[in-house]
Structure 1
Amino acid sequence: MLGTLGTTLFSLLLLGFPIIMPLLVSAIILLFLYMPDVNTSIFAQQLIQGIDSYVLISIPMFIFAAEIMSKGQTADRLVNFVQAFIGHVKGGLAITTVGACAAFGSISGSSQATVAAIGKPMRDRMLRAGYRDNDIMALIVNAADTAILIPPSSVMIMYGVIAKVSIGDLFISGVIPGLIIALFFSIYCYFDAKRKNVPVTDKATWAERATATKEALLPFGFPVLILGGIYSGIFTPVEASAASVLYALLLELLIFRSIKAKDLYQSALNTGVVSSVVFLLVAAGQVFSWVLSYARIPQELTGSLLGDEPSALLILIVINIVMFIGCMFVDSLVVITIIVPIFLPLALQAGIDPIYLGIIITMQAAIGVATPPFGADLFTATAVFNKRYVDVVRGTPPYIVILLFIVALLMIFPPLGMIYKYL
């Protein structure tokens, strides 16, 4: 059965089919070949059940808010704010990029939107300051990873729906790992700039800093609205996503006047396309997961990989390896829909906190979007910057090493990924 499953999956992937087709076709083949007694109407029921979750409404809402902000002034105001305070230090523009990506990520929840919104203005500034283009693109692609850890995050929402855990607890627990990524990247940028003797920019005056701070106050209302609203109990995650759309419209359409009403059509269209792909993926993943569970493939697979009574550490190591390899080739949401149903029961049995497990999995998803050969942010960068794939990839290894080190740090000090327990 495992051989049939693996052969079908990889054959269809190699033939170039979208990932939804391998998931559905392999599930259908297993049903007809090995489970002929199962009523096939269950297939349709599982498709519907996969997207029959109220929480999933928040995904298109957050995507729509990110679309609106990426076309407006929010990104530029955040960049100007961060640069005003640290642009003059060694590696200041690179550190500004990291900080701006973290700030925009806390608003958009999308690494691809962060690459586009922050990458465009920062690449031009860094090129003028003497940074190498390969280094700039690698930094932007990897700094955008913070958008997946710092809420809102579609990856966390997906994991929360599958694992049936609190989205709010996942959101708050992702903040510390996201800030750790920003800190380590900033330290690397500082020493890398010293080693390469990159020139620094002029120090901003206090008047310029005051102006930049004033202009950034309203954009910084997004994380306060989302995190503060959810964790204080004012909003549910779905209500917070709707509030973020309303706030984005108020800022960009009425206050900043950076977009016009007619621009919303294209933003809504983009949101519809991305959201439909996500929901189809969730539905296909539900069918695939149900077939796996019914056929007891998770028990067979984990038994052969981990033995009868694996330790919590061994389970985490295997999950990290599977996630890292899987996200190199397939979208992280696909990997999550496949591996969470397989490993979650075993992790819970070993006493692993499901929120902490979600943070570890989200970290690997963040690494995956910027890891060759098929990291989504790499292809986003090639389109945004109109550069060759090989040029974008060339500078990424140091950042991947840093991210893997942070994963190890989270495994050594689990409380870093469970801050929700201490609030």
Structure 2
Amino acid sequence: MIFTLLAILFVLLFTGAPLMLGLLIGPVAVVALYMPDIDLMWLTQQISGGVEVFSLLAVPMFIFGADIMSMGHTSNRLLDLVNTFVGHVKGGLAITTAATCTFFGAISGSTQATVVAVGKPMYSKMVDKGYGVSESLALIINSSNIALLIPPSVVMVMYGVVTGASVGELFIAGIGPGLVVLAFFCIYNYFDAKKKDTPVEEKSTWAERGTAFKKALLPLGFPAIIIGGIYAGLFSPTEAAAASVLYALILEVVIYKSIKLKDIPSIALSSGMVTAVVFILVAAGASFAWMFSLGRIPQMLTASILGTDPSAIKILTVVSIFFFVACMFVDQLVAIIILAPIFVGPAAAAGIDPIHLGVIVTLQSAIGSATPPFGCNIFTASAVFNKPYMAVIRKTVPYFVMFFIVSALMIFFPQVALFSRNLLY
């Protein structure tokens, strides 16, 4: 049964069929071949039930908010602020890019929106200052991955929906590892620029920094609304998503006037199309996950791979490998829908904090966004900057190494993944 299910999925994938067809046709074929007594209506209920989750309302809101800010002035104001403080040090432009991706991630929660909003203005600046094309692209697509760790994160919302973990705690927990990754990127680019003697910009005065801070003060209100509101108990993550959209509209339409009211319908249409794709994948993935559960595939896989009474380190290592490989080929949300239920039970039995597991899953999903062959950030950057596939991925190895180091730290030292959550909760 499992062979038939996976064979149908991979055959359709390699023939170029949409992913949702593989996720839908496989379960239907398995029910028809191996479980003729089961009414297909059950499968239909699983498909519809997959998207009938209140927490999923945050997904279209975060996507809509990210689209509004990508077209507005938010990213440029954040870039100017960070650049006034670090632009004069070695690797300053690279550090500015990484830090701004982190800030923008705390606003949008989308890696692809971050590639576009931050990457477009920074790419030409970095190349003009002597950074290589592939070096600049590698930094942009990997720094944008931090957006999945820094709240709000669509991946964390999906993990919470699938496993029942607290989305609010996941949001807070992601801050610590996100800042650790940022620190690694900044240190690497400082020494790399020093080695290559990359030119730096003139040091900004404190007056210029003050001006940049005033301009960026309102965009910095986004993380305050999302993180502060959730922590203070003012609203849920879903309500925070709606509040961020309202704030984005006020900021870009009323205050900055970077977007006109007539532009909102086209932005909403674009967000709606992306949301539709996400929800179709979620619904199809729910049927696939139900088939896995019905065939007791999670129990068979965990018994054969993890063995009896596995340690927490072994479980987390296997989880990291599974999600890293899966996100190289399929969308992160689909990987979570299919794989997360397999490991939640063994992880709980081993005493692993579900938030710890969720942060590790999110990190592997982030790495997969920039990993060949099908990392979404790779194709986004290739399209946005009109560069060939190989040029985008040529200099990504150092960033993968740093991501893997952070993964190992979180596996062996859980406090690396949990210290921000424990600090606030």
Return the TM-score normalized by structure 2.
0.98
Partners of 2:116 and 2:301 lie apart in 1 by 40
Residue matched to 2:128: 128
Residue matched to 1:88: 88
Residue matched to 2:309: 309
SS in 1 for 2:227: helix
Residue 103 of structure 1: CA displacement?
0.5
Residue matched to 1:118: 118
Contact in 1 for aligned 2:68/2:248 (Cα 8 Å): yes
Q: Deviations over 1:241-298 (max 9, x none)?
A: 1110110011100101111111112210111011011111111111111111111111
Residue matched to 1:369: 369
1:79 matched to 2:79: yes
Partners of 2:263 and 2:395 lie apart in 1 by 35
Moved more, 269-278 or 306-315: 306-315
SS in 1 for 2:80: helix
SS in 2 for 1:262: helix
Q: Deviations over 1:299-355 (max 9, x none)?
A: 111111111222221111111111111111111111111101111111111111111
Residue matched to 1:422: 423
Residue 2 of structure 1: CA displacement?
2.1
Residue matched to 1:350: 350
Partners of 2:311 and 2:146 lie apart in 1 by 30
Count of residues in correspondence between the two structures: 423
Residue matched to 2:254: 254
Residue matched to 2:138: 138
Partners of 1:143 and 1:133 lie apart in 2 by 15
SS in 1 for 2:338: helix
Residue matched to 1:288: 288
Partners of 2:17 and 2:348 lie apart in 1 by 34
- Over aligned residues, Cα RMSD in angstroms? 0.9
Identity %: 54
Q: Deviations over 1:191-236 (max 9, x none)?
A: 1101111011111111111100000100000000001001110011
Residue 412 of structure 1: CA displacement?
1.6
SS in 2 for 1:174: helix
1:334 matched to 2:331: no
Residue matched to 1:242: 242
Residue matched to 2:147: 147
Moved more, 335-344 or 102-111: 335-344
Partners of 2:266 and 2:394 lie apart in 1 by 33
Moved more, 309-318 or 78-87: 309-318
Counting only pairs closer than 5 Å after superposition, residues 60-79 of structure 1 correspond to structure 2 as: 60-79=60-79
Moved more, 345-354 or 67-76: 345-354
Partners of 2:137 and 2:423 lie apart in 1 by 37
Residue matched to 1:278: 278
Residue matched to 2:45: 45
- The residue identity in structure 1 corresponding to 2:141 is V
Residue 421 of structure 1: CA displacement?
3.0
Partners of 2:309 and 2:411 lie apart in 1 by 20
Partners of 2:344 and 2:27 lie apart in 1 by 20
Which consecutive unaligned segments of at least 5 residues does structure 1 have? none
Contact in 1 for aligned 2:64/2:267 (Cα 8 Å): yes
Moved more, 387-396 or 360-369: 387-396
Partners of 2:227 and 2:96 lie apart in 1 by 23
- The residue identity in structure 1 corresponding to 2:277 is V
Partners of 2:102 and 2:291 lie apart in 1 by 39
Partners of 1:355 and 1:18 lie apart in 2 by 32
Residue matched to 2:197: 197
